[in-house]
Amino acid sequence: MAFWEDKTLDQMSETEWESLCDGCGRCCLIKLEDEDSGILITSDVRCKLLDGDSCRCTDYPGRKAKVPDCIKLTPENVTEIKWIPTTCAYRRLAEGKGLAWWHPLVSGDPQTVIDVGVSVKGRTFLETDVEPGEWEEHAVDWPEWEPPETI
């Protein structure tokens, strides 16, 4: 039995926990909040530390020092953060859904995240390249898109 099927999020080692990240990059997209409604809008603007090709943080261990509002996912907060994508392995496991078929731990291939369209690879702009007044023009709905459960 795979560790994610046998353990709760709380029971996982740090290595197991970290391996759950599918590398999609969706959580590192900049979110905008509508001041009037409080609605969060996801943009196609990525954190200055997210590599747009690998969808990995360029300074994961030091990210909090460089991006103070970066949120570290934990078993305690993964169900409380509303903007966590529905495709996120942490969220799926917390909701009892299991890993999706395209997750690298299931498929055995990190390319499946890209092939099914879950990854942000090649679809984002670096936050330092977007003027603050232009951020609203970067609102997108595709980060909430989910591939079919099977192909």
The H-assigned helical ranges of 36-81 are 63-66
41-63 in b/e form (b: 16+ CB < 10 A) is: bbbbbbbebbeeeebebeeeeeb
Split at pLDDT 50, 70, 90, the class of 135 is: confident
For residue 10, count CB atoms less than 10 angstroms from its CB and return exposed for 0-12, middle for 13-18, buried for 19 or more.
exposed
| Residue 146 belongs to some domain of the structure | no
Range of the domain at 12: 3-141
In this prediction the pTM is 0.88
Give the pLDDT score at 61. 94
Separation in Å, CA 14 to CA 80, 108, 141: 20, 20, 32
Number of domains in the chain: 1
Give the pLDDT score at 142. 74
How far is it, in rounded angstroms, from Cα 33 to Cα 11? Answer: 34
Mean pLDDT value across residues 95-116: 95
| Residue 41 belongs to some domain of the structure | yes
| Residue 9 belongs to some domain of the structure | yes
Give the pLDDT score at 63. 95
| Residue 151 belongs to some domain of the structure | no
Averaged pLDDT of the chain: 91
| Residue 148 belongs to some domain of the structure | no
The H-assigned helical ranges of the chain are 3-6, 14-19, 63-66, 89-94, 104-107, 111-115
Torsions phi, psi of 64, nearest 5?
A: -65, -30
- The neighbour count for residue 97, using CB atoms within 10 Å, is 12
Split at pLDDT 50, 70, 90, the class of 151 is: low
| Residue 45 belongs to some domain of the structure | yes
Query: pLDDT tens digit string along 50-77?
Result: 999 999 999 999 999 999 999 999 999 9
Adjacency order of strands within the sheet including 29-33: 29-33, 40-46, 125-126
How far is it, in rounded angstroms, from Cα 56 to Cα 47? Answer: 11
| Residue 106 belongs to some domain of the structure | yes
- The neighbour count for residue 69, using CB atoms within 10 Å, is 6
Torsions phi, psi of 70, nearest 5?
A: -65, 135
| Residue 149 belongs to some domain of the structure | no
